[in-house]
Structure 1
Amino acid sequence: MLDPTKAILGTFGQAFIGGVWQTNINHLEANVEVEKRELKLSGMTWSAFKMGIKKGTGTMSGYKISSAMIEQGFKKFNIISRLDDPEAYGFERIELENCMVDKVQLANWTAGEEVTDETQFTFEGFTLHDKIEIS
């Protein structure tokens, strides 16, 4: 039976760029897609698949507090995602490697509202440094 206290809340997520905690980031998503090659083999009634090239994409968003992403421009960088709910079985730390933004947001504001920043990016690999394991 699931212990509900072990369900991990995103409240405890952190994003680090260049070793600096990005306290303004309140959403980080990263995905890896694989291009599968369909093979039709003689004597088989099912298609078989061979794994092809992988593609990493992501989005991070939060409150605008500086011009850091504008200055970053299209230079590559790494992001470390850390998810550490104190009631969970442990914490998870994943490094997204060779990240590059898709576009640089120069302005996006409305009078009377908090200014937010959303950055879509691609990445070229990842390393799972720490994993959550059920004990």
Structure 2
Amino acid sequence: MKRLELSTRAASTVDAVPFAELAEHPRARGVVLTSDIAWDALKPYLARLDLIVLTFPIFRDGRGFTQARALREYGRFTGEIRAEGHVLPDQANHLRRCGVDGVMLGENADDAPWHRELRRFSTVYQRAIGDVTPP
């Protein structure tokens, strides 16, 4: 898999464990959060985490966007948020504006449509979460 950069935040190199196993791994620095788990379930662990991987089971499931925004806005998470699963290039700007730093694409995926979408809009009407800046 290859990572598409959505922000200037450095990519984390830590391994992510499933949320269900996080309590069993006190040294884990990364977690995989499925869309059925509320972001605030991570509150006890946020201070030690460097990476949160949000999974998108189908492209029309928007809970990952909500999780990302809530982690940045309410949880004040400053580490990397990475999206995996069924995301589409036309979701690139919204992912970035919600605080997602990168998207995992298939090894042979064409990233040109993603870059085209990231350049599509030069004006926004609302502030994005945090200091999200294009790479």
Superposition TM-score tier, normalisation by shorter sequence: under 0.3
Q: Per residue, is there more helix in 1 or in 2?
A: 2
Q: Per residue, is there more strand in 1 or in 2?
A: 1
Compute the TM-score of the two structures, normalised by the length of structure 2: 0.24
Task: Name which one, 1 or 2, has greater alpha-carbon Rg.
Answer: 1
Compute the TM-score of the two structures, normalised by the length of structure 1: 0.24
